[in-house]
Amino acid sequence: MSSSSNGARVRTIFRSKTTKALDRMEDPRETLDDSYDQQVKLLQQVRVAVADVATAKKRIELQGEEMGARYQRLGSQAAEALAQGREDLARAALERRAMLESQVAALQQQFTSLDRQTAQLQERERRLTDQVAAFRIEKETIKATYTASEAQVKANEAVSGISNSITDVGSSLDRARDRVAQMQARAAATDELLASGALTDLTAAPDADIERQLAVISAQAEIERQLAALKGGASAAGGASEQAGSGSWTSIGQAGSAGQG
């Protein structure tokens, strides 16, 4: 494999790993969960604010009730002092009552402001609660869809990997078949060359080539002898036939040897 192919493979692997790392960094499920957590924290802050304002409102309400009771008591004391002829005490009670009335008026304004602020915060809390609930449903839907899509991508990649593996296996089989065919052809060719003497059989005994050639000459001489015997006459042929017919298979080829002997 060339260096350029290796470089391309390395770049492909690097891009693949980088893409997977970015996918993990930009996982929308984690982003949605973070956004949801932030909205929940904001909702909690609004609820704490509602509770604080409601507490302040209740404190002013209790203080106003206490001041109202004192206002009524000062009025009763002024009437009782006047009935007993103590106009000076009645005047002092009424003066304190007048001062208390101005304090109650200021307290009433604070109470009204806090009451309006409480209503606004409660309305914001209600809307934010609805928004957080809706966002949670949409978040879980998107997460489920993303998870399903991710599983589908992994399944497709797995199938693609299996397909590539099958393709590689098929290529390997084709290459193996070609190698076997080449080896068989080479074996047949070397057999022919060895038989023709073009190649030397290093495993054969010394002078085997001479013995092989002499064996061929002897076989040819035997054929010529048998042919001459056939031409010599029917009697010789009949005698040979009787000898061949009377004997078993073990006598085949023995006549020529006896004649030579």
CATH code given to domain 9-172:
1.10.287
Residues with Cβ within 8 Å of 116's Cβ and at least 6 positions away in sequence, in order, are none
Query: pTM score, two decimals?
Result: 0.45
The pLDDT assigned to 23 comes to 53
Q: Give, rounded to a whole angstrom, the gap between the first and last alpha carbons of the chain.
A: 72
The pLDDT assigned to 16 comes to 56
Tokens of 11: 């770049």
Quick one: how far is CA 7 from the chain centroid?
A: 25
Q: What is the pLDDT of residues 186-226, one digit of tens each?
A: 777 776 776 666 556 556 566 666 777 777 788 888 888 88
The predicted model gives 148-161 an average pLDDT of: 79
* Rounded CA separation 257/261 (Å): 6
Answer for the pair 109, 60: CB distance below 8 angstroms, yes or no.
Answer: no
The predicted model gives 113-128 an average pLDDT of: 89
CB neighbourhood size of 234 (10 A):
9
The predicted model gives 132-160 an average pLDDT of: 84
The pLDDT assigned to 235 comes to 47
The predicted model gives 238-248 an average pLDDT of: 51
- Annotated domain spans of the chain: 9-172
| Residue 252: strand, helix, or coil | coil
The pLDDT assigned to 259 comes to 53
* Rounded CA separation 163/159 (Å): 6
Task: Give, in order, the Cα–Cα distances in Å from 143 to each of 27, 137, 151, 152, 239.
Answer: 10, 10, 12, 14, 107
* Location of structure tokens 């009025």: 75
Identify the residue with better confidence: 202 or 181: 181
The predicted model gives 125-141 an average pLDDT of: 89
Residue 10 has pLDDT above 70, yes or no: no
Any alpha helices (H) in 84-232, and if so which ranges?
A: 87-196, 208-231
The predicted model gives 58-70 an average pLDDT of: 89
